Chain A
Amino acid sequence: METLIQQIIGGLANGGIYASLALALVMIYQATDVVNFAQGEMAMFSTYLAWSFLNAGLPYWLTFFLTVGLSFAGGILIQRVIIRPVETAPILNIVIVCIGLLVIFNSIAGWIYTYLIKPFPSPFPEQPLKIGNIFLGFHNLGAIGVTLALLILLYLFFRHTPLGLTLRAAAQNPESSRLVGIRVSRMLMLGWGLAALIGAVAGMMVAPIVFLDPNMMSGILIYAFASATLGGFTSPGGAVLGGFIVGIIENLVGTYVAFIGTQLKFTVALVLIIGVLLVKPSGLFGKAAIQRV
């Protein structure tokens, strides 16, 4: 029983990270029909930035918010400078550009910081929290807290602020948005900025667990894909829920199903994706695309 709860908490912690990254993916997909393959690498790069600040002696939370802010700006910059020139090109072209970004970030991170694994500090206490017979990792709880806070803030932003409404409108219907005077290009920049911000938070929360290295996020990206597929690429809320579910399933299957173990944990994500695609491609909460004749 204790193991179960521990695994669930651990799963929720991972799930929060998958949920965040999945949300970032879905946000950009909704606005542009493009899956940003570089989302993971951007998050990884942000985390390395944070590492540099910490190495220079800055306190943790200052670093945290500084990194978040810089990542936000970075996301905006990337959209404006790199993505906008190909905005109107066929989707596959934009995908290739994202792949280009992916390898650039990965390579530069490896170049500047080497491929040696680095530890990344957690702002939360080391010793676990003991409730009865259950030991709960403080970082896990903290990660859940931080990602939840982020997701809630985003929800409030999108649902209850004029800017959030504008962003939603621009993502859903760019042409009508122009007709009410919305500058859709600016909204796209904002969307990328937010996605990068989310990625930075996810990266900083996961680095203490998996340790910092340039390939840190590639596995997590796959879980993010699984989450977004499960929840539905057209539903931000679904993607978030999907993330938490995937996190829990991953941990439980890894613990309780004999032959999976830590090696084939990956396969869980893959099986999930295939399973969902076979049964309901649009995911739990996504809407099936209506084919216009």
Chain B
Amino acid sequence: MENRTETTELLEVKHADPLDTRIEGWKVAGVIAVLAFASLLPFVMSSYRLFQFSLAFAYAIALFGLNLLTGYNGQISLGHGAFYAIGAYTTAIMMEHWGISYIWTIPVAGFICLVVGFLFGIPALRLTGLYLALATFTLAIAAPQLLKYFEEWTGGVQGIVLSEPQAPFGLPLNKDQWLYYFTLSILVVLFIVGWNLLRGRVGRAIVAIRDHHIAAESMGINLPLYKSLTFGVSAMYTGVAGALGAIVVQYVAPDSFNIFLSISFLTGVVIGGLSSISGAIFGAFFIQFVPTYAQDISDAAPWAIYGIFLIIFMYAMPMGIAGFLQGLWNRLRRRRLVDS
């Protein structure tokens, strides 16, 4: 760790308060503009592109969940792929074994993951840092094994093929367009709910636990309850994401939910930006599109390119994409203040 006497910049990048409770008008306008733009895309993008975007939206929900746990609450998880898998298989089993419409599977997937996450959180909360990472790591490794083991439910190694969802009420949309709007809507709803949660007392408690957990406890915050709940809610979001992912891809198999998925999620959260809502979206698009982009650059060693991207991003944007943009914005604002 080098001596930083002379290298700290005069204009330090100020980390935006993620719990800033003021709703700035222009921010709302910006979000609405982005959403409006996003709603028009299905009419210009190819089916395949729409499919990729829908999956990215699902990932964004998963990353929001992981961010809640790791960014805001400081608990590291290397196992969220397992919750994604649980959500995905819940949907697959309900749809294919019991013929339930895909829409109803989503809240069920969420609920199951909420419970499983909460229960996992109870013993896990005794562990910190490295040890929690190890425990969640084993969860992620065990998941595919267990999925292969319970063959009659999960279809074993072959997995389950899901039937194609159709646009409801006879809307003039094809499957990909409909799924795009479907996942986007759920994303918006879940993000608004999450944002509200973080703005209030709960959010402050969660962050307090991350930053000064001993002080938080002495202020009367029920640490075990909050930590387990955060785990549960985090798992719930990721479970819903898994359900959506299964619906979009129309196929689940144990090997798609291996440790690398969990690692991708962690990567997405860090690259997108910890403790930031937009970070989940940036991260999701990164993990969805950069591997494909890397393949375009080098067919022979695409993951090497991906790895290089990871390293470059960490050098250039240590606070993630969201943090980087926030820093730019702060700098612009400061200059305006100075000028005026």
Contact = CB atoms under 8 A, between A and B. Distances in A.
Q: Do chains A and B touch in the complex (CB under 8 A)?
A: yes
Contacts of B44: none
B300 interface: yes
B145 interface: yes
Interface string B126-139: 11101101110110
Interface of A: 29, 35, 82, 84-90, 92-97, 99-104, 106-108, 110-111, 174, 184-185, 222, 225, 229, 233, 264, 266-267, 270, 273-274, 277-278, 281-282, 289, 291, 293
B200 interface: no
B142 interface: yes
Contact of B270 (A85, A93, A225): A93
Given A107-B302, A264-B145, A274-B138, A97 B308 contact: no
A93 B131 contact: no
Nearest to A234: B130
B301 A108 contact: yes
A97 B274 contact: no
B318 A86 contact: yes
Contact of A229 (B134, B301, B307, B318): B134
A97 B309 CA distance: 10
B213 to A, nearest CB: 9
B191 interface: no
A88 B314 contact: no
B267 A35 contact: no
B303 A103 contact: yes
Among all A-B residue pairs, the 8 with the closest Cβ atoms: A100-B310, A104-B307, A107-B303, A107-B304, A103-B307, A100-B307, A111-B301, A100-B311
Interface in B1-48: 1-2, 4
Contacts of A93: 270, 314, 318
A99 B315 CA distance: 14
Most buried by A among B263, B301, B318: B301
Contact of B1 (A88, A97, A270): A88
5 contacts: A85-B315, A89-B314, A90-B318, A104-B307, A111-B304
Contacts of B137: 225, 273
Given A86-B318, A185-B2, A281-B131, A104 B145 contact: no
B2 A88 contact: yes
Contacts of A293: 214
Given A85-B315, A278-B123, 7 more contacts: A92-B76, A97-B310, A99-B307, A107-B304, A108-B304, A184-B1, A185-B1
Interface string B64-100: 0000001000001000000000000000000000000
A89 B301 contact: no
